[in-house]
Chains A and B, each alone.
Chain A
Amino acid sequence: MTVHYTEGSARAVIRGETVVVLPGAKVDDTLLRALWTELGDASDGVAAALGVLTSREGGLRAVPPFAVVSVQRSGSAHVAVRGAGLDVTVATAGGPVPVSGQDVVSWSERVIEEPTSFVVSVADGTAPASGSGDGFPVESAVVAAGSVRRVLVEGADDAGPAAAPGGTLGEFATFGSTPAAEDVPPVPAPPVAGRHTDAPSGAAAPEPAGPAFGAAGATALPGPASSGSPVPETTQIGGGDDEYEHLFGETIMRSVEDAAVRAPEEDEEDEPAAKEPGKPAAAVPPPPAPGPPAPPAADEAPGLISAVPGGFPGPSPAAPGGTPAAAHRAASIGAEASAQETIAPTGDEPDDHDGHTVMQSDLADLRRAGGLGQAAPGAGGTPAPGTGGTPAPTASAAGTGPEILAVTCPNGHANPPSRPTCRTCGDDLSGEPAPAPRPALGRLVVSTGSAQAGAAGPRGEQVVELDRAVIVGRRPRTSTTSASGMPRLVTVSSPNQDISRSHLEVSLEEWQVLVSDLATTNGTTLMRPGQPPRRLHPNEKEIIADGDVVDLGDGVTLKFEGIW
């Protein structure tokens, strides 16, 4: 690909179909090299870049501000932006789509269909480089850049309005605090503008995305692509002046921005109600207020309703909730009140954004990219049916454990790396240690004195395979964990209630079995052959050896057999 960049203080890594821009002068060279390397053969540039950017020690706080734009094989632009002072604008046939990382804890992530061009620009307060015109072309490089622009569809309106009056690159407008086209008044930000507007029929004139986001005050925006008269950037940089405004733009973006670039919107406005009844799946009881546009609810403030055609819950300071809590809520997350008022008269229930509960997939992305290192196909903001939704392989009876370092004998038995021969078949162990599913690490024989329901062995004993953790107690409970991490529960009777409800935890670590007394009232005694009985310290893990017996009280003992 060819991109054009203008010089500046940020570092841009340009390689393959991906552009990564890191603002600030103190960008780590090793980070740049890692990005360069990872992008070399990455099929998913955003996942690769995020993998590098989030892999450093220190968790989320250590992740630097960044902007990543990668053009996917489908032609879509996948954008991830973290931190203030970086603006990404993707031009599409339907108008420009800004993505800003301001006021987001992790980062903003978008997939934008059919981009025609994009611009990544840095608001670092430096003056725009002069005389660079369109900037310098580059195929792939690591450069010191102030902005990076890539045209994907020649002739289409540019995301960075190169066609702006005076030939000034539009993206330069975001460099300083002064709007580039200072002779043009900023677009007045409508208090409410946006898109949740199917029902009020003709009243909802198609509005370009730009002003809506201008209203949010988060991003400088070029005008509507189709208008032919570029709207000057109403530059709002810095973000220090009105935190709430940025918050508005940011937090609502996830829902509104998608709406803002909907191409088929006109269709729906042509036939506002026709599609609605078909929406709910057949199996679902229809919601109570489907169908034609419902009249505004009685308790809706008329003023807000009249603002509905504009739709976007903009920074109207008065949250109609009437309570401080409502105001707070509106100001913070989804502008719930305005969002609701916005929707109220539409009667189109899929647009019933409450703005209450917001999926923060960014954090999950962080986990995926940094923690697990597996980028699910189709992930990254596009709800792609059928991708990533395959039922996770569920643990079967054997080899359920996590993979641990093992030497596997020719017959497939996993052994601890320290063993010279296979415990199961006696074969020599010569291979290199490699991760293998952990086998059961032995058995726990529960002797209760009275027969227990369940897997009763001889003499009413209960035998528990140690292929996962175990909680033993009178009425044991587990802590919160994933399905694969769920311990077995062993319930033992304790007529005298000597035994605590959750009494003993048996945990598995690598090839070791450990027990810990769960801070019980009456304690736990460990009896090791050849040693005097001793009491376990509460909540301290003790490594178990083969033949160890643990006494819980009330005649209940646990014998460990077949321990490695």
Chain B
Amino acid sequence: MWGAASDRGRRRKVNEDAYLAENGVFLVADGMGGHDAGDIASATALGALSFLLEAETIEPELVDVLVDVAQKEVRAIETGPKGRGAGTTLTGAVLAYVDGVPYWLIINVGDSRTYLLSNGELEQMSVDHSEVQELIDAGMLTAEEARHHPRRNVITRALGGPDELDADFRYIPVEAHERILVCSDGLTAEVDDDRIREILLACPDPGNAAQELVDAALEAGGRDNVTVLVVDVTGVPSDNHGDTADRATDIVPGGLRQLEDTQPRNGG
């Protein structure tokens, strides 16, 4: 079960965020500010990654190749004579089976985030590729200080950047009663983790939860595009490994593939 909500926010004119939520693939891309055609970049990247929908087996190497393809396509985006190059972040969770056991393959490039809500605790699964994260890693900044750091929006990796891409991956097991949150920084810049956790715990329906989170970001200022995917895991036995066939249908009720662009709400 999953729900999604996206809003261009109160200040941005265009929603440069995009998401892909279908068939076990839950990705958010945040087209980059300061670059041309961020909305095209995010949609292009997800277009390349949508190959995952048809892949029989999903492995990090496959995703890595697709990320490279996406990188190439984003770089090739015609930005016209102004051409500064488009860019986008990419993060999310993809259902992958390892020896028949379901795992979330977490993917990340940039500062959009993927979280896991498990046993009431919210844990960030992705590691931001941002300057402030590097300062945090170096022990020079606390997470709370980073939220207000002047350079908190400077990211160190992106699809479409000039460099070879090194996407982050990790596997986490798929467990029942857990919830995956995939979001652009329009949410996390406005709403702190505690509040996100409260909302996720208060809204059993993933669609409502996604919308509530977007609303919270808008209430807090909505200075950027906000995109939220909430994925609930159902049908997985809470103990070890269960029947994979059930899971495939239960986790993903199918549904529309969406390259979400914009839902004009109260932003304008």
Write the residues of chain A forming the contact surface with B, with a CB cutoff of 8 angstroms.
105, 247, 251, 254-255, 258-259, 262-265, 267-268, 275, 279-281, 283-289, 294, 297-299, 321, 323, 325-326, 328-329, 331-334, 336-337, 339-340, 343-344, 347, 349-361, 363-365, 367-368, 372, 374, 376, 378-392, 394-395, 452-455, 462, 474-484, 486, 488-491, 493-495, 501
Contact = CB atoms under 8 A, between A and B. Distances in A.
Contact of B185 (A268, A347, A357): A357
A299 B225 CA distance: 16
Contacts of A363: 131, 134, 156
Contacts of B170: 477-481, 486
Interface in B97-144: 98-101, 103, 106, 108, 110-111, 126-127, 131, 134
Most buried by A among B15, B83, B162: B162
A347 B268 CA distance: 13
Contacts of A387: 75
B34 A357 contact: yes
Given A258-B82, A349-B13, A389-B71, A323 B169 contact: no
A391 B111 contact: no
A379 B68 contact: no
B8 A288 contact: yes
B98 A489 contact: yes
Contact of A262 (B34, B81, B153, B154): B81
B164 A383 contact: no
Considering the complex of A and B, which 5 residue pairs feature the smallest CB-CB distances, nearest first?
A383-B85, A454-B99, A332-B150, A389-B72, A354-B33
B8 to A, nearest CB: 7
25 contacts: A255-B34, A262-B82, A285-B261, A286-B261, A321-B221, A325-B148, A340-B13, A352-B12, A352-B38, A353-B33, A353-B34, A356-B33, A357-B33, A358-B154, A360-B155, A363-B134, A364-B162, A389-B71, A394-B61, A475-B240, A480-B106, A480-B108, A480-B127, A491-B101, A495-B240
Contact of B101 (A347, A350, A381, A453): A453
B32 A358 contact: yes
Given A361-B163, A383-B83, A489-B171, A287 B64 contact: no
A381 B186 CA distance: 26
Nearest to A285: B261
Contact of A376 (B36, B148, B160, B162): B162
A349 B15 CA distance: 9
A340 B34 CA distance: 11
B235 interface: no
Which applies to chain B's interface (DSSP): helix, strand, loop or mixed?
Answer: loop
Contacts of A353: 33-35
B32 A357 contact: yes
B221 A379 contact: no
B75 A357 contact: no
A453 B154 CA distance: 44
B138 to A, nearest CB: 9
Most buried by A among B76, B101, B111: B101
B262 A287 contact: yes
Interface of B: 8, 10-16, 30, 32-40, 43-44, 47, 60-61, 63-65, 68-69, 71-72, 75-77, 79-87, 89, 98-101, 103, 106, 108, 110-111, 126-127, 131, 134, 148, 150-158, 160-164, 166-173, 175, 185-186, 189, 221, 223-225, 240-241, 259, 261-262, 264, 267-268
B154 A482 contact: no
A286 B268 CA distance: 17
Given A294-B13, A491-B98, A483 B167 contact: yes
Contacts of A381: 162
B34 A355 contact: yes
Given A280-B39, A358-B153, A482-B169, 20 more contacts: A251-B151, A275-B80, A334-B153, A340-B13, A351-B36, A351-B82, A354-B34, A355-B153, A356-B186, A356-B189, A357-B33, A363-B134, A389-B76, A390-B68, A391-B65, A395-B61, A477-B173, A478-B172, A480-B127, A490-B99
B91 to A, nearest CB: 12
A481 B12 contact: no
Contacts of A395: 61
A391 B173 contact: no
A483 B107 CA distance: 10
B43 A359 contact: no
Contacts of A286: 261
A338 to B, nearest CB: 11
Contact of B155 (A255, A344, A358): A358
Given A287-B15, A353-B33, A386 B259 contact: no
Given A481-B169, A493-B241, A357 B36 contact: no
Contacts of A355: 33-34, 153
B25 to A, nearest CB: 17
A452 B98 CA distance: 12
A281 B80 CA distance: 12
B168 A482 contact: yes
Contact of A486 (B32, B160, B169, B175): B169
A287 B110 contact: no
Given A284-B43, A354-B16, A479-B170, A299 B10 contact: yes
A486 B26 CA distance: 20
Contacts of B87: 359
Most buried by B among A263, A265, A287, A380: A287
